[in-house]
Amino acid sequence: MPEMAWGVAFVLLVLAELLLLKSRWRLQIPAILRGAVFCTGLLVLVLVIYQWNDGSGHLFHRLFFLDSQAVFFKIIVVVVTLLVLAHLHLTRPPLPAEFYVILPAVVLGLHLMTMAVNGISIYLSIELVSIGSYLFAGFGKGAKPAEGALKYLLFGAISSSVMLYGLSLLYGMAATLDFTNEMFAANLSQNATWVTSVAAFLALGGVFFKLSLVPFQAWVPDVYEAVPLPVAAFFSVAPKAGALLILMRLLSVLSTDFQLPLAVISLSSILIGNVSALWQNHLSRLLAYSGIAQAGFMVVGLVAFNQTGFEAATFYLVVYALTNLAAFLLIDLLGEGQTDLRQLAGLGSEKPLFAVAFTVVAVSLVGLPPTAGFTAKLLVFSALWDSYQTLPNPWLLALLIVGLLNAVVSLAYYFKLPFYLFFRERLPNVAANKVDQLPQPLAILLVLLVVLPIVLLFFQPSWLMNWISGP
């Protein structure tokens, strides 16, 4: 039902836009469509919650599998979509009406990603998300959106072709692409370890692309810079939710020999993301590179190859989603629509509530108490340490040490945000603050919705972990 709701909404919104173009409300089309998508999101959220206790089962001839994990990740996708729509309503960037028409199709693809357990359904759902995302990246005027969309398309096409090649190898070895079929794991185990690892790495190309992991990360900074901040917020979080669950499902049927390539990918993402972010003053690019590093930290839990690590990675995803959505929202509110770090100078005294919220977000991204970012990093590295105790592997120890050191390195660029807010003087040529032009109660409510849980989950992580563990 949730997927049918998104599909029907997509068709109806296409028709609604065509009809409204001929009416007296043609100037209000984006606002009308945005409201329609938001109402659809609320309806879908109720439908998804009703699925929580429906039990597990296959759908569409074993192409999809519905269980509590899929339902939980669907909830993440819908909540992220609703928060991004609220951000769009608050700041109202110049997006065409087609954005709101395509958005239900993209979210439908994300829902299908959370349930996909067959190579074919995984590929098709990822492509559904990708095609809409390419169009999102191209919305806008000037060279940057065109350049960002072109890079996104080229890297997406390459990752898709690599993924198809890997899936063909897995099919040749396992005689099926259904990951829930016992024959899949049994047949894979009869092949040489390095052959299985290469095929799995290639098959996961599309997943790594959506997670912004090395070596499929080069598109991220250009796309984040080209699109409006709410769209960048959606890109930074929503695709990662579906991709992370696909990665967990496939890793659960691979042998622990895949730990080494996954540890290398995680380590490379953390290093490249953090080092690249050190030199950034453009806030969208800074968050893009930091997102690459954060994806690497998220995968640390998966490297553990145990249930504790998978649950820790899921907790990390939720915390990162809330934190990143808050970061993009606060940049939009405090930066007068600009994304240069210098735009934040001196705003701590003018807008203390938003500046303090921004500081909380920066502290959470670093992974320091009293924020949920600290708990998330503690959980993923604890799971990795437990795995190292069970199976001593020098790569796991290297990932543990370098990962913890990089959490310290990230202080250098995350703390530039509160430094500019509170310790730099306001630039004289900066226009009046954008927050003054927005409905204050709505802005404060939206900030609290995304920032308050970041603090509360530090003191009560069990509230979230009980959901993640499932019934």
pLDDT exceeds 60 at position 411 = yes
**Poorest-confidence range of 94-98, 140-144, 192-196, 197-201?**
140-144
Instruction: Give pLDDT, residue 432.
Output: 46
Burial pattern 133-169, b for ≥16 Cβ within 10 A else e, equals bbbbbbbbeeeebebbbbbbbebbeebbebbbebbeb
Average pLDDT on 141-152 reads 81
Residues of the chain with pLDDT > 70, as a percent, come to 95
Average pLDDT on 427-454 reads 68
Question: In the numeric block, which tokens belong to residue 11?
Answer: 């068709």
Q: Give 184-195 pLDDT, tens digit per residue.
A: 888 888 888 888
Q: Give 341-382 pLDDT, tens digit per residue.
A: 877 777 777 778 888 888 889 999 998 888 999 999 999 999
- 186 burial (CB, 10 Å; 0-12 / 13-18 / 19+) is exposed
Q: Angle CA(297)–CA(299)–CA(304) in degrees, nearest 5?
A: 110
Q: Give 50-93 pLDDT, tens digit per residue.
A: 888 777 788 888 889 888 889 999 999 999 999 999 888 888 88
Average pLDDT on 162-189 reads 89
Position 318 confidence tier, pLDDT thresholds 50, 70, 90:
very high
Average pLDDT of the chain to the nearest whole number: 86
Residue among 431, 206, 452 nearest 323 (CA): 452
Average pLDDT on 440-459 reads 82
pLDDT exceeds 60 at position 431 = no
Instruction: Give pLDDT, residue 470.
Output: 64
pLDDT exceeds 80 at position 471 = no
